[in-house]
Every structure is written in C-alpha cells, then in structure tokens.
Structure 1
Amino acid sequence: MKHVNFKSAAGILAAAVLSACTLMPKYEQPKVAVADTFKYDTAGPGIQAASLGWQDYFADPRLHRLIDIALERNTDLRSAVLNAEIYRKQYMIERNNLLPSVTGTGSGNRARTAADLSGTGNARIGESYSVGLGVAAYELDLFGRVRSSSEAALQGYFNSAANRDAAHLTLVASVAKAYFNERYAEEAMALAQRVLATREATYGLSQLRHKAGVISAVDLRQQEALIEAAKADYENAVRARETARNALAVLINQPLPEDLPQGLPLSRQFKISRLPAGLSSEVLLNRPDVRAAEFALKQANANIGAARAAFFPSINLIGSLGFASADFSNLFKGPNRVWSFGPSVSVPIFNWGTTQANLDVAKLRQQAQIVAYEAAVQSAFQDVSNALVAREQLDKSYAALSKQSRAYADALRLVNLRYKHGVSSALDLLDAERSSYAADTQVLATQLTRLENMADLYKALGGGMKRLSSDAAEPVASAR
C-alpha cells in the first residue's frame, strides 16, 4: 500500500514539473509609431486624469447622484460586469484542469441468483460493497496544452475586465454630457425668457410711440416678429431639455428621481479646469480599451501554444484506490484493499492537416489582434490629440465670444437709452437686440461644447477609474 502511494505522489510531482513546459511563443508588445508627447498639452504639471476619481473632477452634486445611480443600474455596464464574471469563472474552470479531479465513490449491491443459474443447483443471495477515490482522465500536460488554454482563459478574463472598465468610463462621460445638455437647455430657456421680457417691454413703449406717430407700423411688426422668435426659442429649449432628460433616464435605467440635489450653473461644473495629458505611453497604459486590445493579443498568443501542443501525444491517467468486499463488516480490512491504474496515450497520426490548419488559424488570429492593438493605440492617441486641440481652441473662442457678448450687451444698453430719448431709430434697436441675443446664444453654446470637451478629455485620458481599479483587483486575485 505504501508503494502505491509513493508512486501516485511521484506521478503527480512529475506531472507538475513537466507541465511547466509550454509551447506558447514569447509575448512581445507591438511597437506603434506615435509621438512621445501631445502637441497641445499646455496644461502644465498637475494631477493626472487616471489618478483622479470622477467625484473629484465633477463638482455638481446633482450630477454626482445621477452618476451613482447610473453605475448601479445602467444596463450596458451591468452586462459588461456580468460578462467579466462569466469569463472569470471560465478561467477558473480551465485553471482547475491543471490539477487531478478526484472523486469519491461508494456502492452496495444485494442480489438473488436463481438455482438454475447458481452453478450449485441452489438459489443464493450475494452481496458486494465498495468505497474508494478515483482520478478520471487527468491529462499530463507535458507539452503545455492545458496550461496554454488556462493562460488564454486568464487573458480572456482580463480582456473582459478591461472592457467592463471601458464601459464604466464611457458611462460616466455619457451621463455628464447628457446632464450638461439639460443644464444648457435650462439656461437657454432662462435666456429666452429674459429676452422675451425685454422685447415685450420695448414693444409696449413702441406702441405708445406708434400712437404718437413717431414710428411706423413696420417697426411694430418687426418687434412682434422678434417677440415670437423669442417664444419659439424658448419652446425649442424646452424640447432640448426634455430630450436630455430622456437620455438621462435611459442611462440611469429609471425615471429621474424627484429628490435630486439642486444643480450648479454651467460655469461651476468642474473642480479642476485643465487636465495635463502627460506622455503618450502613460495615456495608453491608462486607457481600458488599449489594455483590452493587448489582453486579446495575449490570449491569441496563448492559443498558439495550445494549437502547437495538439501535434504531440496526449497522456491521460485514470486510477482508483479503495476497498471492496462481499461482507460489509469486512469492507475496511486490509486484505480487501483494491486499486487500479490505467494510463492512456493518444497520438495524432492522420489528422495533421486539421491540426496544422488549426495552428495556422491561431497564428492568423494573433496577427489580426496585432493589427487591432495598433488600431486601438492610434485611435486612443487621436482621441487625446483631438480633445486637446479642441480644448485649446474652445478656450480662446469662449474668451473672445464672452468679450463680444459683453460689448453687444453694452451697445444694446446705450441704444436702448438713445431709443427712449428719441435719438436712435427702431431699426437701430432691433439690430442691437438681435446682435446681443445672438452673441449670448453663441456664448452659451460654446460653453456647452467646452464642458463636453472636458468630459471627453477626461475619458480619453483614462480618468474615472481610480476607485474601480482597486475593486477590480479582487476578482483577479481570487481567480488565480
């Protein structure tokens, strides 16, 4: 009995040593031609987006609440989380194939044999009992097929976890942009109401001047047209607000709660106004979509090892150890010990064409993943570069439009005074009102675009993952 145990232990040890060998090609990260720095990264030194949680970036408590709800209820993110968990379980299954599967067995049987069949001419009752442990078809991973499959499953899990992170990051940015559009629409409504009130007040004065014969009916009709235009702008802003709220409802997967905190104006949406991009290599490490592409490449690399191992023999071990007896009371006595050991070898002979084709497919998929990785890196670099150049130009445009708006507002104030004293004509007043309103509208629209750009840049730089990254490490550790 001791001799059998020694052989079993030696076999398991040998299998563990031999299974360290795999036929996976050595992984080399593809080199992608991108610049070391970004051209319009003028923010200077500061906190990196990847180390900045979204709670520390966005300032509006109303937006915070919406993002919290979305992270809990959004269907796309929940699907990504469940998909990552599925891949984690699949990796655990593949990893467990590296170890023997030991099962416990037990059976008891009592049967009567007919006299004509007993051989003695007398009927008899027979009994048999057995208990034991068995190893069913444990593959000695001499050429690393099982280990390569386990590695492929692990990289598949990492890929799904990175895709989950990408969904998380995209969701944060999407909620923020939808919320900015809601706030923009509300401020556009307020602007249209202010302009409408001003135009109605001016119209009242113009009616008096028309009765006095100072201005013509044409001037009144033009002011009436401007009043109706302001009303139409207000209704359009209402429609935009409701559209944004509908988008938010989809993102949080429920109607907007009634108890949301009071929101902040558009000018106070961010705690940090300018994020530095840093080195392009740092950005690529922080982007979950780039990480997902690299994990997919590593998975394809591991699949080549499994395809190569298929060319070599597969050795499986089947064995059992236990007790068997015709008398239950004697079942566990020494003479009734039983064991069996039955290795089997499978050698590929006439399937080399299929095996070679499988290896060729694995190599082609690896090449396809290399191309996908390069595309992901280039796309990430483009996202950051576009967001940076947009930030630079939007800041300058917003500053110029703000000055223009103030100038037109002051001009309108002066023209309005001159009109009340009969110095300026109604046409001068109409032109001043149109110019001032158009300038204010441009400023508001540019402000929205700037806010959306800040959310896009935060996403492009891999921001918003600080808290999630620490949580995501736990499943990886348990999977190992």
Structure 2
Amino acid sequence: MTKTYTRAAAVLAAATMLAGCNLAPKYVRPAGAVPATLPQGGIYPAASTDAPDVTKIGWRDFFTDDRLRRVIALGLENNRDLQIAAGNVLQARAQYRVQRADLVPSTTISGSATYTNNIFGAAGAASGGSATGGSTGGTGSGAVGGTGGGTGVGAGAGVGTTSSNIEFYSVNAGFSAFELDLFGRVRNLTKAALEQYFATTEAQRTTRIAMIAEIATAWLTLASDQDQLRLSQQTLKAFEETWRLTSAQFRIGVASELEARQAETNYQAARNDIASLRTRIAQDQNALNLLVGTTVPAELLPTELGDGRATIASLPDDVSSEVLLRRPDVLQAEHQLIAQNANIGAARAAFFPRISLTATLGTISTALSGLFGGGSFTYTGAPSIGLPLFDGGRNAGNLDYARASQKVAVATYEKTVQTAFREVADALAQRGTIDEQVSAQSQRAEAASVAARLADARYRAGVDSFLTSLDAQRTSYAAQQQLVTTRLARGANLIELYRSLGGGLE
C-alpha cells in the first residue's frame, strides 16, 4: 500500500513540474501598421484644447436632442442585430465553459448491486451426490440396480437444491481518462476558447456603436428630407404663381408661349421633387423603424433639421493613433490573433505523448449492510500513455493550418487598424472644412434668394428678360437645397467621428 501511494505521488509531482510547459509562441502585438499620430495640418482641424476625451463621452451626453436620445434607447432595447450579437456572446461563453471543463477531472459516483447464481457450488454438489450413490450401491449387493436407480434420482435432486445465489454491492467514485496536460494542449485550447469569447464580446460592442451611429444618421436624414419637402412646397407656390402670371400674360398677348412653358417647367420640376421627397420620407421612416427594431412613435420623429446640430459641437482633434487600438473591432481582431497563437501551441503538443489517468475509490461487500464496514474499501489506478508514431500527416497538417491561420489573423489585425485609421482620418478631413462649407453655402443661398427677388423685380419693370428671372429662381432653389444637404453632412460627420474614435459605449 505504501509503495503504491509513493508511486502515485511521484507521478503527480512530475505532472505538476511539467504543467508549466507551454508550446505556444509568445504573443507580440504587431506594430507599425499605422503612423503614430493622426493627420494634422493642412485641411485637418487645429488641435482643440478644451475638447473632452471622446471615448469617455456617453452617447446620452453626445446627443443633445431628447427625442433622438429616446429613439436610440428604444433601439438598444429592440434592435435585432444587437440581440443576435448578445446571443453570439452567450454561445461563445458556453463553448469556453465546455472547453475549460477539460482542465479538471470529470468525477462521477456510481453504485451497483449484482445478483448471480454460484454455478461452481452447484457443480460441487453434483459431484458429492455421485460419490454417495456409488458407496450405497456397493453395500447393497442384492439391490444394486434398485439402489443405483434410487441414487441416480437422489443425485439429480441434489444438483437443484444445493445451488445458491451470490450477492455483491458496491459504491465507487472516481474519474476516467483524465489527461495530464504536460505539454499545454488542453490549456491552449482553453485559452483559444477564452479569447474567442472575448472577441465575440468586442464584436457585440462594435455592433452597439455602429447601431447608435446608424440610428442617429437615419434620424437626421429623415429631418433633412422634411426640410427639403418644406422647401419644395414653398418653392412650388412661388413657381405656380409665376406660371399663372405668365400664362395670363400669354393669353392677352403680353408674354410669349415660350415664357409660359418655361415657367411651367419650373413648376412641374418642383412637383416632381415633392413627390420624390414624400417617397423618401416614407422610406426614411421604414429604415429608422428597422434600425430601432420597432415602430418609432410619431412624437419622437423629427420635424426639421434646422442647423443640423443634434450633438455636442466639439470633439477632440489632437488624439494619438493609439486610441484606435481601444476600438472594439480592433480589440476583437487582437483577441482572435491571440487565440490563433494558442491554437499553434495545441497543435504542437499533439506531437508529444499524451498521458491520461483513470482512478476510482469505493467499497464492495456481499451484504448491503457491510458496504462501509472494515475491510470493504477498494481503489484502482490506471495511468496510460500514448505516443503518435504514424498518423498519415494529420498532426503536421493541423500544425501547418494553425500557423497559416495565425498569419491570416496578423494580416486581419493590421488591416483592421489601418481601416480604423482611414475612417478617423476621413472624418477629420471633412470636419476641417465642413463649417466653412456650411458658411459658404448659407451665404450662397442668401445671395441667390436676393438675386431671385431682384431679377423678378427687374423683369416686371421690363429691364431684364423673363429667362433671367427663371434662372435666378432655379439657382435660389438649388442653393437652398444644397444648404440643407450640407447641414446634414455636418451632423453626420460629427456622428461618424464619434463612432470611428470608439465613442458610444457609455
């Protein structure tokens, strides 16, 4: 007994010493995928000293319109993409728990009762009956035949009546084929599953940020189209009045048919714009409902875009490109890269011996009441070792696949970082000029509006032709339409910059 325990202790000690063996390559984060700083100078905005850290600005603070905040909150509750992402996280966590279970023995307890006939005792009884019959026959000489016949019957009866049943009861607890993870195969598989779980969590955060940005952009787009519709309706009235006037002048011979047709052209174009905008507004509402995951109440829909400022006006410009490494999609790619590193370690460990252990501890007795009595306890220990000799190249193929997957993960991580850099740089480039665009477009719309009024007055005074007045009206209409579009671009640019810098998690 002492030698057995000593041997088992030695095996466990050796396993403990080798447990730190890990064949996975050391993880080093890829560097140099993007410049150290974001673009500065030129069209890019100057550094802002009072702008807060965008990653610490919650979306409730970033969006200033209460209706928009309520719509976003509604989307966080009902958006199906978010629900899918949450389900993926739960799946990944469950898979990690399944894989982690291989690190510890799966212990089971069992009990059994066995009832069997003692055929060996029955055979002994039959042998004793034959001997007795022979002796009896020897003593009764005149009735040997009769006695022998009697003895034969007695022997047959002895086989049936002397047989007996044997009962066994046992209770056992132990584990079967538990792998002693000497070379880190199970630990690396567990680490890979954990990193995949982390990656799925970051994917959920990415979906959340994107969903908030998409809802806000869709809400502003709806507001912009509402402004465009209102502008077209106002312009339609002006064009209708001009058309009515020129048609009346044509009928009395003061104006030509050409002038009347030109006025009608403007009127019909405005009619077409109104019909198109009504369609777009309905489609905008459908898109917003899909993003939110339910029908948005009418009181939460925007009625106008105005100056397009539904968010805070200031975001930081002088940020390091290191902030991109904290974006959820970048963290997701990094966790997947770490998981592939761990898979290489597991693939390498497959070339080494695999040691497993089966052990049980229990009690056995021929009586149920004696299961836990003295001398009834029993144990078994069965270590085993397997070393791959020839597998047709399976292990080598698995290792090559793990290495190739790791290279793909490195490239994916670097591309994700580069994409994040490009998104932020593009948003900054537009931000550097968008205020100037809005200012210029506002002044252009104002100038075009004044020019249209002057051209109309000059036409009525007979100084300019009617074509000049019509061109001025069309120019004013187009300038005001472009002003609404530019204001929408400014609002969408701030939302995109907020998203690309990783805001929206709070």
Alignment check: 8 A CA contact 1:43 1:274 kept = no
Shift of 1:23: 1.2
Shift of 1:163: 1.4
For residues 47-66 of structure 1, what are the structure 2 equivalents within 5 Å? Answer: 47-66=52-71
Partner Cα separation in structure 2 for residue 424 and residue 231 of structure 1? 27
Cα-to-partner distance string for 1:118-173 (whole Å, 9 max, x where unaligned): 75443323322211211121111111111111111111111111111111112112
Q: 2:440 aligns with which of 380, 391, 400?
A: 400
Q: State whether structure 2 residue 385 is matched by structure 1 residue 381.
A: no
Q: For residue 384 of structure 1, what is the amino acid of its counterpart?
A: V
SS at match of 1:318: strand
Q: Greater CA deviation, 391-400 or 338-347? A: 391-400
Q: 2:292 aligns with which of 252, 255, 268?
A: 252
SS at match of 1:275: coil
Structure 1 residue aligned with 2:501: 461
SS at match of 2:315: coil
SS at match of 1:267: coil
Shift of 1:3: 9.4
Q: 1:194 aligns with which of 219, 229, 234?
A: 234
Partner Cα separation in structure 2 for residue 254 and residue 442 of structure 1? 32
Structure 2 residue aligned with 1:283: 323
Q: Greater CA deviation, 129-138 or 349-358? A: 349-358
For residues 219-368 of structure 1, what are the structure 2 equivalents within 5 Å? Answer: 219-258=259-298, 260=300, 265-351=305-391, 353-368=393-408
Q: 2:46 aligns with which of 25, 42, 55?
A: 42
Q: 1:177 aligns with which of 202, 208, 217?
A: 217
Shift of 1:283: 2.7
SS at match of 2:379: strand
Q: Greater CA deviation, 300-309 or 451-460? A: 451-460
Alignment check: 8 A CA contact 2:220 2:308 kept = no
Q: State whether structure 2 residue 202 is matched by structure 1 residue 162.
A: yes
Q: 2:75 aligns with which of 59, 70, 74?
A: 70
Q: For residue 445 of structure 2, what is the amino acid of its counterpart?
A: S
Q: For residue 273 of structure 1, what is the amino acid of its counterpart?
A: A
Partner Cα separation in structure 2 for residue 292 and residue 37 of structure 1? 22
Partner Cα separation in structure 1 for residue 306 and residue 4 of structure 2? 78
Q: 1:451 aligns with which of 491, 494, 499?
A: 491
Alignment check: 8 A CA contact 1:277 1:461 kept = no
Alignment check: 8 A CA contact 1:42 1:276 kept = no
Shift of 1:12: 5.8
Partner Cα separation in structure 2 for residue 320 and residue 430 of structure 1? 98
Q: 1:438 to 1:264 in 2, by over 3 A?
A: closer
Q: 1:189 to 1:261 in 2, by over 3 A?
A: closer
Shift of 1:440: 0.3
Q: For residue 37 of structure 1, what is the amino acid of its counterpart?
A: T
Shift of 1:320: 0.6
Q: Greater CA deviation, 412-421 or 137-146? A: 412-421
SS at match of 1:215: coil
SS at match of 1:90: helix
SS at match of 2:393: helix
Alignment check: 8 A CA contact 2:24 2:345 kept = yes
Q: For residue 157 of structure 1, what is the amino acid of its counterpart?
A: Y
Q: For residue 272 of structure 1, what is the amino acid of its counterpart?
A: I
Structure 2 residue aligned with 1:132: 172
Alignment check: 8 A CA contact 2:176 2:359 kept = yes
**Structure 2 spans left out of the alignment, 5+ residues:** 126-158
Q: 1:264 to 1:204 in 2, by over 3 A?
A: closer
Partner Cα separation in structure 2 for residue 16 and residue 64 of structure 1? 56
Structure 1 residue aligned with 2:31: 31
Q: State whether structure 2 residue 87 is matched by structure 1 residue 82.
A: yes
TM-score, normalisation: structure 2: 0.84
Structure 2 residue aligned with 1:472: none
Q: For residue 100 of structure 1, what is the amino acid of its counterpart?
A: P
Alignment check: 8 A CA contact 2:220 2:305 kept = no
Structure 2 residue aligned with 1:470: none
Shift of 1:464: 0.8
Q: For residue 276 of structure 2, what is the amino acid of its counterpart?
A: N
Shift of 1:441: 0.7
Q: For residue 32 of structure 2, what is the amino acid of its counterpart?
A: V
Partner Cα separation in structure 2 for residue 108 and residue 347 of structure 1? 38
SS at match of 1:343: strand
Shift of 1:189: 0.6
Shift of 1:204: 4.4
Q: 1:180 to 1:292 in 2, by over 3 A?
A: same
Shift of 1:404: 0.4
Larger Rg: 2
Shift of 1:183: 1.3
Q: 1:263 to 1:223 in 2, by over 3 A?
A: closer
Q: 1:90 to 1:14 in 2, by over 3 A?
A: farther
Alignment check: 8 A CA contact 2:226 2:305 kept = no
Shift of 1:354: 2.7
Identity value in percent: 38
Q: 1:318 to 1:274 in 2, by over 3 A?
A: same
Shift of 1:276: 1.9
TM-score, normalisation: structure 1: 0.89
Alignment check: 8 A CA contact 1:60 1:263 kept = no
Alignment check: 8 A CA contact 1:55 1:64 kept = yes
SS at match of 1:366: helix
Partner Cα separation in structure 2 for residue 392 and residue 166 of structure 1? 26
Shift of 1:420: 5.3
Partner Cα separation in structure 2 for residue 346 and residue 305 of structure 1? 19
Partner Cα separation in structure 2 for residue 61 and residue 118 of structure 1? 95
Shift of 1:16: 4.8
Alignment check: 8 A CA contact 1:62 1:263 kept = no
Cα-to-partner distance string for 1:258-282 (whole Å, 9 max, x where unaligned): 4536666352543312322444433
Q: For residue 370 of structure 1, what is the amino acid of its counterpart?
A: V
Q: How many correspondences in the alignment?
A: 466
Structure 1 residue aligned with 2:136: none
Structure 2 residue aligned with 1:99: 104
Alignment check: 8 A CA contact 2:308 2:490 kept = no
Shift of 1:456: 1.8
Alignment check: 8 A CA contact 2:227 2:304 kept = no
SS at match of 1:137: strand
Cα-to-partner distance string for 1:309-336 (whole Å, 9 max, x where unaligned): 1121111111011211111111111211
Alignment check: 8 A CA contact 1:316 1:345 kept = yes
Cα-to-partner distance string for 1:29-48 (whole Å, 9 max, x where unaligned): 11124222222253513122
Alignment check: 8 A CA contact 1:180 1:266 kept = no
Q: For residue 20 of structure 1, what is the amino acid of its counterpart?
A: G
